[in-house]
Structure 1
Amino acid sequence: MGNAYDVLVLGGAGVDTIVYVPELPLPYADSYMIRPGIETRAGQTGDFVALGLSALGLSTHHLDMIGDDPSGDLVRAFHRDRGIGFTEVPLPGGTKRAVNLVGPDGRRLSLYDDSRSRESDRLPEDVVRSLASVSRHAHVSLTYPCAFALPQLQEAGLSISTDLHDWDGENPYHEPFAYGADLVFVSTTALADTEKTMRRILERGRAEAVIATAGAEGAYLLTADGLVHIPVVEPRKPVVDSNGAGDAFASGFLFGRLTGEDLRRCALYGSVAGAYACTVPATGCDAIDRAGLLAEVAELTGDPVSARGVGRGK
């Protein structure tokens, strides 16, 4: 019996309020006049990974906890309008929210509302096991309930990926994710020693590859064969916002992995998808599609490319 889903995304559903500011850091002032305005829209890390995977033609299902509130309605509409399957579990504290300050150069400062989470928050084990049993791969967001779902995913025999985002390499909260996934993404932003942290993940956990994204410096890919640098891909349009670029990179990489490409090609897919995301305004929700990704990769490499393992989606 085949799997219903290429990827099960766990966690990372929520709502962001986007505020464009004249500069970052933002100097103190009594008030600022903001243009193009302030907008609230659904789309946090899990939402964007699910969007990116779905746009690339992989059958994707998202599982997370959200509230019975207007923010939750935005999250529901985000998935419904894009045809992305979504299983919701009630979140007593209400849907997760954040405020993103976005500067003119596209840099972002996120303020996360930490009052939504409770110690008792859990994704039901039977729901996790049921969805895992019909999925090829699981991408696990760095949210509290997901840490308790990792053992069920491992028992189900799925391949697992996670994104540690701006981990400093020391905070113990991240370690179950870092050491419990087969593909580990991390930003270099807060790492004092990027290679040392990457090697520790590879040595202590189950990862076959660790990928560190470094913005304008490109990315780094570490496997048992060694560390390689992945050159940056220049966006085809002006950079307007970095929000979601890491999620897009992960989506592109996973698309390559699930269609049978080697890890370097996967990293190139991720770089192209991440570059595209930087051209999308923070108030928008868009992702590169399969045809666009493969066409740009073919142009960059001079090689015709095709996805060998066609997903169950588009």
Structure 2
Amino acid sequence: MTTFDLLVIGDANPDVVIGPVPQPLPFGQHERLVESGSLVLGGSAAIMACGAARLGLSVAFAGRVGDDHAGEFVRAALVERGVDVRGLVTDQELPTPLTTVLTSGSDRAILTAPGCLPATTAHDVPAELLRSVRHVHAASFYLMPELAAGLAALFKEAKINKATTSLDTNDDPSGRWDRVVLDPVLRVTDILLPNAAEAHALTGHPVLADAAGILARRGPLVVVKDGAAGALAHDGSTAVNAAALVVEPVDTVGAGDSFDAGYVAAVLNGYGRERALAIAAVCGSLSTLAAGGTAAQASWGLALESAG
């Protein structure tokens, strides 16, 4: 049986990244020109998987794409970056998700046609993968309600097989941030990886360190990404901080997912909370130096060197 360091569960889709766009976004059927556009691999889970593979982990992916050209693009892009796709299901009825990312400075608007994402379930994850990994990571919790409903059971099964677990909820398009489904997952999650806005939304607390502490007391170690301000990790009693690298970002799409990959890779390589946080912050920063989420992802050697 093939064994992997990491199994990533979640979303994978093409991203069309366009920008910078003027604000407010003008309509009126008048064509306007922007500086750049690119077609790249997207999806929080897919970008994280590629980042982890770039950092030297053996990575498998489980999720769903449609039986279409977009799905072929996603599958080929993952394989090209060293990710095993035996758990990537082809949906025969629903299309591959599609996302357009409109950038404006360090901010962005994200428009997603979910396609087969809502049809993704825990049953899409091969049982043999759960039995053969050191760590399981899930992303885009609120985009896949059927998977979210079964994620606690998946994580429990992974932990029975001695794997550790992590979750990046990403945004909730509904704005509800439902705890009823999330809290059982947090109880079997070792590392929660929200960004600052998500940590505030999940708790309703305006102070970031306090929000992280509230989440940590619900179960996991909480590792929060805060863009150029760096990152913090809270275990429920104490917090540690790490600075981001000072860079001139080209594209911040996927930076948080590359951060996630860096943190998980550091933990699986035996590093403690403070060092893992520094490595993750470097990975997130470096990923912004090229368009798209995967083009500038760091190697393990570069991440260690840049983290000092």
Same fold by TM (over 0.5)? Answer: yes
Deviates more, 1:185-194 or 1:71-80: 185-194
Q: What's the offset of the Cα at 1:153?
A: 3.0
**Aligned pairs (5 A) from 1:271-310:** 271-282=281-292, 285-298=295-308
- Of 271, 287, 292, the residue aligned with 1:261 is 271
**Aligned pairs (5 A) from 1:31-180:** 31-86=30-85, 87-91=87-91, 92-103=93-104, 105-118=105-118, 121-124=120-123, 127-141=125-139, 142=141, 143-144=143-144, 145-147=146-148, 148-157=150-159, 158-166=163-171, 170-172=177-179, 174-180=182-188
State whether residues 8 and 135 of structure 1, in contact with CA within 8 Å, keep that contact through their aligned partners in structure 2. yes
State whether residues 262 and 280 of structure 2, in contact with CA within 8 Å, keep that contact through their aligned partners in structure 1. yes
State whether residues 196 and 225 of structure 2, in contact with CA within 8 Å, keep that contact through their aligned partners in structure 1. yes
State whether residues 10 and 140 of structure 1, in contact with CA within 8 Å, keep that contact through their aligned partners in structure 2. yes
State whether residues 160 and 181 of structure 1, in contact with CA within 8 Å, keep that contact through their aligned partners in structure 2. yes
Cα 1:252/1:258, change in 2 over 3 Å: same
Partner deviation per Cα, 1:269-296 (whole Å, 9 max, x = no partner): 0100000011121386331101111111
Q: Where in structure 2 are there 5+ consecutive unaligned residues?
A: none
**Residue matched to 2:255:** 245
Q: What's the offset of the Cα at 1:177?
A: 4.1
State whether residues 107 and 241 of structure 1, in contact with CA within 8 Å, keep that contact through their aligned partners in structure 2. no
Indicate the SS of the match to 1:278. Answer: helix
Amino acid at match of 1:152: L
Cα 1:138/1:198, change in 2 over 3 Å: same
**Residue matched to 1:309:** none
State whether residues 286 and 298 of structure 2, in contact with CA within 8 Å, keep that contact through their aligned partners in structure 1. yes
Q: What's the offset of the Cα at 1:13?
A: 1.1
Q: What's the offset of the Cα at 1:14?
A: 1.2
Give, in whole Å, the separation in 2 of the partners of 1:295 and 1:28: 46
- 1:222 counterpart = 2:234: yes
Q: What's the offset of the Cα at 1:11?
A: 0.9
Instruction: Report sequence identity in percent.
Output: 23
State whether residues 243 and 282 of structure 1, in contact with CA within 8 Å, keep that contact through their aligned partners in structure 2. yes
State whether residues 129 and 156 of structure 1, in contact with CA within 8 Å, keep that contact through their aligned partners in structure 2. no
- Of 184, 201, 208, the residue aligned with 2:215 is 201
State whether residues 15 and 96 of structure 1, in contact with CA within 8 Å, keep that contact through their aligned partners in structure 2. yes
Give, in whole Å, the separation in 2 of the partners of 1:65 and 1:283: 19
**Residue matched to 2:189:** 181
Indicate the SS of the match to 2:217. Answer: helix
State whether residues 65 and 123 of structure 1, in contact with CA within 8 Å, keep that contact through their aligned partners in structure 2. no
Cα 1:38/1:241, change in 2 over 3 Å: closer
State whether residues 122 and 147 of structure 2, in contact with CA within 8 Å, keep that contact through their aligned partners in structure 1. yes
Indicate the SS of the match to 1:204. Answer: coil
**Residue matched to 1:212:** 224
Partner deviation per Cα, 1:100-157 (whole Å, 9 max, x = no partner): 0012x24221112135444x542426x4321011100001112424321431332232
Question: Normalised by the size of structure 1, how large is the TM-score?
Answer: 0.83
Give, in whole Å, the separation in 1 of the partners of 2:39 and 2:270: 38
Deviates more, 1:31-40 or 1:155-164: 31-40
Partner deviation per Cα, 1:40-66 (whole Å, 9 max, x = no partner): 332211111111100110111111111
Give, in whole Å, the separation in 2 of the partners of 1:275 and 1:35: 24
- Alignment root-mean-square deviation, CA: 2.4
Partner deviation per Cα, 1:231-281 (whole Å, 9 max, x = no partner): 23212xx21111011001111111110011110100000100000011121
State whether residues 128 and 152 of structure 1, in contact with CA within 8 Å, keep that contact through their aligned partners in structure 2. no
Q: What's the offset of the Cα at 1:77?
A: 1.0
Q: What's the offset of the Cα at 1:20?
A: 1.3
Give, in whole Å, the separation in 2 of the partners of 1:198 and 1:284: 28
